Structure 1
Amino acid sequence: MSRDPDYYQTVSLKLSEVLNDICVNERMILKRRRMALLSETMVTSTHRLLGENISIYHFGSQSEGSTTIGLKSDADTLGYSSECNVIQDWSEWQPGWTSLLMIQDETTSPGYCLLQWLRNDEPLPVPTASLDHNPDSRLTVSRGKVLLKNTGLIDVALAAGCVINGPALSQGMPGIGDNDMVPAHHCKSWPAEAQPWLVRQGIGRWPTEDMKRYCETTGYFVVAVSSKNGQHEELEWRISTSQAERCLMFSLNITQLRCYILMKMILKTFINPRCDGVLSSFMCKTVLFHCIQNTHSNKWVQSNLLACLMCCLTVLQNFLRQENCPHFVIPENNLMAGRISPHNKVRVFEVLQKITQSKGRSLLEIPMDDLGMRLQLKMNMGEAFQYHVTPAQMYAKISSRMLVNIANGISVIHIYILVSMHDENKMVYERLSDFTLTLTRMYRAMGFNSLEKSAVKLLAPLLSSSLGSVLASHNIYTTHSISPEARGWFSVGLNSDVASGRLKLASALYCVGDMERAEFVLRNTEGKYDLNTVESVCDCCEHPMMYYSRQGFEHKCYTGIEEMIQHTIAFCVRFLRCETCCVPKELQSEMFRSTHEDMLEREIHECWMDWAVVDSLPYLYFLQYKTYGALQRVADQQHALANLVTTIDTESKLGHRETALNLLGQCMEQENRHIDALRCYMISLNIRPRNNAAKFLICIVLNEIVNRQENTLN
């Protein structure tokens, strides 16, 4: 492999081709970044809509585009409330705000601080004696000051029912989803410790002066994490310049990003499995920043990728030898402090030495994304794959996952907004009206291609369908009709996705007795619901993450971004209790699925169990069964019933399979197939033993079976 006189250039170009094939290229990086930024914009917009001054950021590899399928990078989510203000000096104090004064002295570690609690009516510290009269578990007295403990945000989160995982918390709310969120406070000014960075300049002329000026405007976060060697484990807060670092990452060229990804692959393959995970990807990023700053920019080209990688690994070796990896923005903060034992230091150094001396041959052993095997093929050193995923297929696969993630985010937000309402018809109607009108104003006020505009466009239709259904339910109850206003809101919500908005309209039409129109909407929905293309999305329940997608879905995702949701995604259909008159009686039973004992066993994310919720596809076939029955179209009715049975048996991604089985059981009862109905309810109960309407449906059908047997005997 190393006999070629242009060896480094040859390997670099082949390695660049391999990375391009696994979608480490400009197109995918930009797409990853857009999806991450869109997600955080949707979440932050939702909190604003609900009057909550909470901002959400997605940092790390997913938002940077510096990952691959094989790296399996987590999403790093940070959230903060703007109601709390961190200040560096008294001149920044503002009346009426909860202010925290940042304190750094000889006892705090570099890159960390203490936070002193201040009065909000005048620029003075809160007196220590006040805690004697008003104890607060978030605060403590130390060195004559009232300080905020770094467990303070966690205590608040626990009170809200969050699950704690180290410094992070999890809950079924926007901004978190399946990931952990680190709570933080924000300071608008640039950290004093980082002032020298603004004037420091290396031979790479990077970061540029414009970038530094922008970074200075982003301020910084303080995160509830203490240093490894700090004297104040409960009181220290880490200074985070994540927003500035995002700016730096977004400025990198493709070779620099590929170098970073290769470093992370080396870390995960050769170092951390053998050395207790002592090095972090953030250290790799920091090494990369130092190398770019201290290397001429013309070195970072595709034909020099391997040499750039070896340069970064050599710098990492030097940092390891000194046991000092200086934070890029605050160099006094040693990222390796207290992390590396003498034994692991020797082991990591030996591994790095072996990799750098191999001149790239070690890369052939990297299994992630088949990088090693792909490189062998490019170098004509290996046999062809038995199964080879093409770059186009890889791009479609990653794109489909991102689209599902965005759809999951929309689904979670919809639940979160509905949960925020008291389930009374008038109040829900007023709040939903306010929300939809606010979203409309937000949409009109935004720039043509802004992320905020795209976020609002994705969130509004589901709320419009809910508003139309709430209003229609009231109409049906009072006038046995659906008002033009309700129909208008239904119309706005039709394109929320492939099916759920249309099914809410069809459900209302069925309940008001307009069977012809209901049948038309259902037929239209079935025509749009391509079983080879559409993916169902439900975030009501915790279920294993399924990474596989339909081929047709992946193919559709190849060219589109978030606008494909209305053509390829089917959300579950959700009805609040105040929508009862738009819900067939068979589904209404789901609103009363829980006994008192069941409610005590619920998880905090299971608030939807007081609603009627069903997956779109089985509900489509159930409504067809009922509508065709009312129209006396027997053959079509039986075809719909067969489709409902097949869907329950074959669709692997149903989030509410037990509800679909309960609906099927009630269809079987109407078919006088009571034993089959009982079987459906028993299977349903096996899937969800608690909070399941099957419990009383079983009692009803058993009573019917017994009565029929008695009548037969008589």
Structure 2
Amino acid sequence: MAGRECNINSTLFILSTKAIQHISESVFVGLCRKVGTSQVVAMRRDIMDIYEMAMNKVTKSHEDSVVVSGSYREGFRLKGSDIDMMFWRNKHCVIWDLSQSQYYNIHRQTLILCDCSDSPPGFTLLYLLSPRVYREIQRACVGMNNRYYVSSSKYRQISLSALSLPYNLTPHGPCVSGTFATIEFDNAHCFASAFWPPSASTWIDRCHSWPQPHVVDDIVKNGCHFVAIGHKLGNHEDHEWRISFSQAEQKLVYVMNHSQFLTYGLLKLILKEIINNGVGDGDRLLCSYHVKTAVFWVIQQNAKPQWCPQNLLWGFWVCFKLILKWVYEGVCPNFFIPDNNMFLSKIHGVKQHQLFLRLSELYEKGLAFLLHSPSIRSYIIDILYNPRNSICTNDHTLISEAEFDRNLFCEISCIYIIPEQFDIHICMRYLHTIEQMIGSPLLTQYQVLALQKLSGSVLQRTALILHMETYTPDNKLRFRVDKMSCQMLKLAAKFGCITDMLYIAMYYYKTLRYTEALSIIGMIKVKLVAQPCVMYGLNVDTEMYTKAVGGQSWSTKMRHTVAWNIRLNNEIHYISELIPEQHSALQNHWSLLIVPSVVLLYMLEILCYRHVNTMRVQTALDNLQTLVHYDQGQIIDLGYREISWHILGICQQVTGNLQAALYSYQQSLRQHPFNNIRTATEMRIQRVCQCIPLIS
């Protein structure tokens, strides 16, 4: 095996240019499958764009704006890809020169002036100009040289303490970090300027061939932001703000061609799988931002048509050599403000030397070091052993209809923009906003589908909040509210997938309409359990799926063949049997319970039959028990085994089988605590143990 490895490495050293191009094509195909084809990436971006647009139309009524950035926004869905969100108030206006104050009303808006005179390149102090000051700014101000400046460290502390979201938030640089469902996010409360920084004016002059003039104009017109972090070597680290070009960078990533984007993706993979592999968090000197900066510089300096599948490894190698040069010199110039050396406070001295030696060792191996990447290794080896294999680099043919649909439906199932703390007024604003947007001829087909799913999710939330918050002795009013809630849940199911009907079943069960709930459950079972073509999360029989619904509209496919796990917002009580679990999750700063839909289906069936037909309870319980005990990840992902065992325990407990319930709860405690319900499990174990001696 070692000899074979040596032969492969040697072969990579002596390959002709044509052979390297052939390997590049194979790696291109592999990256399309790992990172996404151009069509998949465009779809992801379209959906994120429309979600952000909807969110901003709603939040602007509160005078706030939001920008979504990070790997997710760029189109990556690699493990560890995060969502970055920047929040700022539109009435806080930052200017670079006093002459720009003419565009604002100082009596209605807070004016802030940049003072870069004593800060490192890329950083600034924010000097308060306005007599009108909002409380959060006033509390963050510090006095220096007879002026009031907004302190970045104080502003960070105030922003974090003001958040009361059900997340376990931790400070992370200028952001607060947390987890929503399975996605990591960084939220940054910042300031915005409508003007381009004077220190970045040289970037405009550099843009001769990339990006195109209209992109440059769009970027400059949108200004920049300021995030709450100072330079570690600056004179005012606790009070300085870093100039952020997050929006500009997103636009630059969007205008990359697909080979350029995959080169960026390959560098991210190499950084994670090889360079930083086995290195502790505190010792990871190179990060994705350094990689992205290198790609920007290389594209701008090599913006000719050679960025294509055949030259993908050429582009990668040029970027890698540039990073090696930067580490050797200890200088990583910011793409927009080159005087801002992003290595200055992090990569120097002994650490710089060690990193250079590590990268030099990889460089000396040549392209052979790519064999250490598990993501692309097989695509290189396949070509080395089968050099005559023809490769199709038309990425529209690389994935099947079913595979693309799986990507699409997973994307629109993750609606991250709806605030977890919802009220009826916000629901109404979202519905009104979607109504205005849905008819636009500028929307792509993906965006229309995403807005339909978003409207369904808002309708579900509206119906459940309306029912939960309506306390009245007036029977007619209660009847009208109930009728409205039912109609909204049914309409939401038409915009969603098979499992969205479970919200109707839960509502019927909660309102004691057990027969109606069983009727809905029966309809779901016919589609969900009996049909072999169902796309359950990432699992699907592609052949059966294509045969059943190939060529049909995405709305039809989603409604009849798509199933997702059920997300229960822990601020809303769906059924009384799960209230302790929701409270337990909230105590652990967890906003959602995520339950496999088939598990919830059987649970509701058991609970309803207890009131309608006790003879059929055991059959439903047996079905649930078989699923939880023997499923091999087709229905119940590893992360959701905790809640599945727990729900089995609840059903066994309510049907009187306490010994079995105790075993199920104990099994729940042994699983990965994804839903954070340990407190509820321990409480139920205690109650079961109290009852068992009485029975025996």
TM-score of the superposition, structure 2-length normalised? 0.77
In 2, distance between residues paired with 1:235 and 1:559? 58
Q: Is the 8 A contact 2:649 2:662 kept in 1?
A: no
Aligned: 1:15 with 2:20: no
Selected match of 1:245 from 231, 249, 257: 249
Identical amino acids, percent of aligned pairs = 19
Aligned: 1:625 with 2:606: yes
In 2, distance between residues paired with 1:686 and 1:307? 49
In 2, distance between residues paired with 1:165 and 1:285? 20
Map of 2:379 onto structure 1: 374
Q: Is the 8 A contact 2:602 2:623 kept in 1?
A: yes
Deviations 1:389-427 (A, max 9, x none): x996899889857854653x43x656x34x334xxxxxx
Map of 1:550 onto structure 2: 539
**Deviation of residue 499 (structure 1)?**
4.9
Q: 1:15–1:68: structure 2 CA closer, same or farther, 3 Å change rule? A: farther
Aligned: 1:604 with 2:589: yes
Q: 1:699–1:284: structure 2 CA closer, same or farther, 3 Å change rule? A: closer
In 1, distance between residues paired with 2:544 and 2:31? 17
Aligned residues: CA RMSD: 4.7
In 1, distance between residues paired with 2:664 and 2:278? 51
Selected match of 1:440 from 425, 435, 438: 435
Q: Is the 8 A contact 1:87 1:102 kept in 2?
A: yes
Map of 2:121 onto structure 1: 110
Selected match of 1:299 from 301, 306, 321: 306
Deviations 1:438-462 (A, max 9, x none): 5434434674438765443222213
Q: 1:57–1:8: structure 2 CA closer, same or farther, 3 Å change rule? A: farther
**Deviation of residue 234 (structure 1)?**
0.9
**Deviation of residue 103 (structure 1)?**
1.1
Q: Is the 8 A contact 1:33 1:63 kept in 2?
A: no
Aligned pair count reads 646
Map of 1:540 onto structure 2: none
Q: Where do 1:147-162 residues align within 5 Å?
A: 147-159=149-161, 160-161=163-164, 162=169
**Larger deviation: 20-29 or 455-464?**
20-29
Q: 1:665–1:489: structure 2 CA closer, same or farther, 3 Å change rule? A: same
In 2, distance between residues paired with 1:355 and 1:5? 17
**Deviation of residue 114 (structure 1)?**
0.9
Map of 2:213 onto structure 1: 209
Map of 1:232 onto structure 2: 236
Map of 1:638 onto structure 2: 618
Which secondary structure state, in structure 2, belongs to the residue aligned with residue 180 of structure 1? strand
Q: Where do 1:147-546 residues align within 5 Å?
A: 147-159=149-161, 160-161=163-164, 162-171=169-178, 177-201=183-207, 205-268=209-272, 271-272=275-276, 276-295=283-302, 297-350=304-357, 352-353=359-360, 355-356=362-363, 358-363=365-370, 365-369=371-375, 371-380=376-385, 404=410, 406-407=412-413, 409-410=414-415, 416-417=419-420, 419-421=421-423, 432=427, 435-444=430-439, 447-449=442-444, 453-469=448-464, 478=475, 484-495=483-494, 497-499=496-498, 501-510=500-509, 516-530=515-529
In 2, distance between residues paired with 1:511 and 1:319? 63
**Deviation of residue 108 (structure 1)?**
1.0
In 2, distance between residues paired with 1:336 and 1:484? 62
In 2, distance between residues paired with 1:312 and 1:167? 28
**Deviation of residue 181 (structure 1)?**
2.6
**Deviation of residue 374 (structure 1)?**
2.6
In 2, distance between residues paired with 1:705 and 1:481? 45
**Deviation of residue 703 (structure 1)?**
6.0
Q: 1:44–1:55: structure 2 CA closer, same or farther, 3 Å change rule? A: farther
Which secondary structure state, in structure 1, belongs to the residue aligned with residue 127 of structure 2? strand
Deviations 1:511-568 (A, max 9, x none): 666555433321111122248776888xxxxxxxxxxx43548996999999676543
Q: 1:221–1:292: structure 2 CA closer, same or farther, 3 Å change rule? A: same
Selected match of 1:668 from 650, 655, 662: 655
**Deviation of residue 63 (structure 1)?**
3.2
Q: 1:109–1:562: structure 2 CA closer, same or farther, 3 Å change rule? A: farther
**Deviation of residue 329 (structure 1)?**
1.9
Which secondary structure state, in structure 1, belongs to the residue aligned with residue 238 of structure 2? coil
In 2, distance between residues paired with 1:629 and 1:665? 12
Aligned: 1:82 with 2:90: yes
**Larger deviation: 682-691 or 142-151?**
682-691
Deviations 1:157-204 (A, max 9, x none): 321254212332134679x952223332211111111222222355xx
**Deviation of residue 267 (structure 1)?**
4.2
Aligned: 1:32 with 2:29: no
Q: 1:695–1:346: structure 2 CA closer, same or farther, 3 Å change rule? A: closer
**Deviation of residue 44 (structure 1)?**
6.1
In 2, distance between residues paired with 1:675 and 1:294? 70
Deviations 1:235-286 (A, max 9, x none): 2211122222222222222333343344444544665569943333333333
Q: Is the 8 A contact 1:668 1:676 kept in 2?
A: no
Q: 1:236–1:535: structure 2 CA closer, same or farther, 3 Å change rule? A: farther
**Deviation of residue 343 (structure 1)?**
3.7
In 2, distance between residues paired with 1:228 and 1:449? 45
**Deviation of residue 20 (structure 1)?**
1.3
Q: 1:358–1:432: structure 2 CA closer, same or farther, 3 Å change rule? A: closer
Which secondary structure state, in structure 2, belongs to the residue aligned with residue 325 of structure 1? coil
**Larger deviation: 47-56 or 453-462?**
47-56
Q: Is the 8 A contact 1:110 1:332 kept in 2?
A: yes
Aligned: 1:692 with 2:680: yes
Give structure 1 stretches of 5+ with no counterpart: 385-389, 422-427, 538-548, 710-714
In 2, distance between residues paired with 1:475 and 1:144? 56
Which secondary structure state, in structure 2, belongs to the residue aligned with residue 179 of structure 1? strand
Deviations 1:61-114 (A, max 9, x none): 44334x685x75444443434342222123234332233211111x21111111
In 2, distance between residues paired with 1:330 and 1:310? 24
Q: Is the 8 A contact 1:26 1:254 kept in 2?
A: no
**Deviation of residue 118 (structure 1)?**
2.6
Which secondary structure state, in structure 2, belongs to the residue aligned with residue 207 of structure 1? coil
Selected match of 1:63 from 73, 85, 89: 73
Q: Is the 8 A contact 2:13 2:366 kept in 1?
A: no
**Deviation of residue 494 (structure 1)?**
1.3
Q: 1:156–1:360: structure 2 CA closer, same or farther, 3 Å change rule? A: same
| Letter paired with 2:451 | V
Which secondary structure state, in structure 2, belongs to the residue aligned with residue 493 of structure 1? helix
**Larger deviation: 477-486 or 656-665?**
477-486
Which secondary structure state, in structure 2, belongs to the residue aligned with residue 527 of structure 1? helix
Q: Is the 8 A contact 2:137 2:155 kept in 1?
A: no
**Deviation of residue 334 (structure 1)?**
1.9
Which secondary structure state, in structure 2, belongs to the residue aligned with residue 146 of structure 1? strand
Q: Is the 8 A contact 2:646 2:665 kept in 1?
A: no
**Deviation of residue 332 (structure 1)?**
1.8
| Letter paired with 2:374 | M
Q: Is the 8 A contact 2:177 2:185 kept in 1?
A: yes
Deviations 1:317-345 (A, max 9, x none): 44444433322222222223233324444
In 1, distance between residues paired with 2:139 and 2:553? 46
| Letter paired with 2:598 | L
Q: 1:696–1:140: structure 2 CA closer, same or farther, 3 Å change rule? A: same
